[in-house]
């Protein structure tokens, strides 16, 4: 089976884990701090504003907790997003309000966000779909002008930039995911960026039970009875650890090469599929935009999309559609939302295998089998 995703790990990651074993400290410690500092430098942000947590989902939940949302508050987010974003909004006590997206880029535009904002809007969450930054600059300016917090879901975008500035650094908060299917992997893990220094300090308490001092050993150097509790508000335990952080440091060093290979694969798909009648390819990136190339999506007549996916699976190629629209989930109370762009793309879009472990021959096999599956059926994509 040619997999959709596949982590790229090897001897360097094993050596980093072995070093942690040798130091006999597996929990949150110096390797965690080092990874936070390295990722902050990669982003170009202060290191005390970056926290390595145990998942991207935990980062979303903590990020929204920092906004002190409650009943009557609304959070705007694209319907084409991972379910964790909507769950985090609901968990924070607010109501998710789903906005539309551009049907070809699958990213929300400024106009999409503007249409969904009301006087009750306290925050906006934008997903950089497939690693493509989208309209984040304009959306960030819009939110700043109106005093609305912006959280960037950069889960799939650790190397994405606009005019040299890192995706995730435009808003008030941002998250990244390093699970086993992402561009960078640590097994499980995520990063949270908090622009405001006071909020970042609070975040460090919230991610470890609400404790002001996470380490009794560290406190013992400056205070007596260091075992006493100093809890000021309820928190979770969602911190990262030195084992996964050590893997993350290696993956961060590998990131440029991994993204370069992803770009080569995207360019090969573009060439191999350019003349397939009935198939629309991802639109080109705008000037100044850099992608992490997490997804490669194609669009076709909705009458054939599911059959094409089944044909490919039978031929040893795993594809999927990411992400099933959230406004269709009854739990969120928005099944009647009118999102024409989202509805258009939901029946037409299919994500192809994309990871650095693919050989050029693998890509050609996928492209050839996709071509045959599409051309064997009537129907053309709307271009």
Active site positions, annotated: 182
Cα 158 to Cα 8, 37, 98, 161: the distances in Å are: 15, 15, 25, 9
Question: DSSP 3-state assignment of 76?
Answer: strand
d(CA 113, CA 123): 11
* Of 197, 194, 179, 195, the residue nearest 240 (C-alpha): 179
Question: DSSP 3-state assignment of 286?
Answer: coil
- Which residues is 351 bridged to in the sheet? 297, 320
- H-helix or E-strand containing 152? strand 149-153
Which ranges of 100-161 would DSSP assign to H, the alpha helix?
A: 110-116, 136-146
Q: How far separated are the first and last CA of the chain, in Å rounded? A: 30
Name 41's Cβ contacts closer than 8 Å, sequence gap at least 6.
Answer: 47
Length of the chain as a residue count: 383
Which ranges of the chain would DSSP assign to H, the alpha helix?
A: 11-23, 30-43, 56-65, 83-91, 110-116, 136-146, 197-206, 216-220, 242-273, 302-314, 340-346, 360-375
Written as six digits, the tokens of 290 are: 């850099």
d(CA 296, CA 262): 10
HSE, side-chain direction, 13 A CA sphere, residue 88: 28
CB 311 within 8 A of CB 317: no
Written as six digits, the tokens of 217 are: 């050993």
């Amino acid at each position: 089976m040619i997999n959709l995703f596949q982590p790229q790990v090897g001897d360097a990651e094993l050596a980093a884990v072995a070093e942690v074993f040798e130091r006999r400290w597996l929990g949150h410690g110096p390797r965690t701090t080092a990874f936070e500092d390295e990722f902050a430098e990669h982003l170009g942000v202060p290191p005390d504003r970056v926290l390595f947590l145990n998942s991207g989902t935990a980062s979303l939940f903590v990020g929204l907790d920092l906004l002190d949302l409650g009943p009557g508050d609304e959070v705007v987010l694209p319907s084409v997003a991972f379910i964790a974003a909507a769950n985090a909004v609901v968990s924070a006590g607010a109501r998710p309000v789903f906005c539309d997206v551009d049907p070809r880029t699958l990213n929300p535009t400024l106009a999409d966000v503007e249409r969904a904002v009301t006087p009750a809007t306290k925050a906006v969450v934008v997903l950089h779909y497939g690693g493509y930054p989208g309209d984040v600059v304009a959306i960030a300016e819009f939110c700043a002008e109106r005093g609305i917090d912006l959280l960037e879901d950069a889960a799939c975008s650790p190397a994405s930039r606009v005019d040299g500035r890192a995706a995730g650094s435009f808003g008030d908060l941002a998250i990244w995911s390093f699970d086993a299917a992402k561009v960078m992997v640590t097994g499980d893990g995520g990063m949270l960026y908090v622009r405001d220094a006071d909020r970042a300090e609070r975040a460090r308490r919230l991610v470890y039970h609400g404790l002001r001092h996470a380490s009794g050993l560290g406190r013992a150097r400056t205070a007596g009875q260091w075992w006493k509790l100093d809890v000021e508000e309820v928190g979770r335990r969602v911190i990262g650890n030195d084992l996964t952080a050590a893997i993350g440091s290696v993956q961060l060093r590998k990131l440029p090469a991994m993204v370069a290979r992803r770009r080569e694969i995207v360019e090969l798909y573009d060439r191999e599929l350019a003349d397939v009648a009935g198939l629309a390819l991802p639109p080109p990136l705008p000037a100044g935009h850099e992608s992490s190339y997490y997804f490669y999506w194609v669009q076709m007549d909705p009458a054939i999309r599911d059959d094409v996916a089944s044909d490919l699976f039978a031929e040893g190629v795993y594809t999927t559609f990411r992400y099933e629209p959230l406004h269709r989930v009854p739990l969120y109370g928005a099944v009647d939302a009118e999102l024409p762009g989202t509805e258009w793309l939901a029946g037409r879009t299919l994500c192809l295998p994309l990871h650095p472990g693919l050989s050029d021959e693998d890509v050609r096999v996928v492209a050839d089998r996709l071509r045959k599956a599409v051309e064997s059926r009537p129907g053309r994509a709307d271009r």
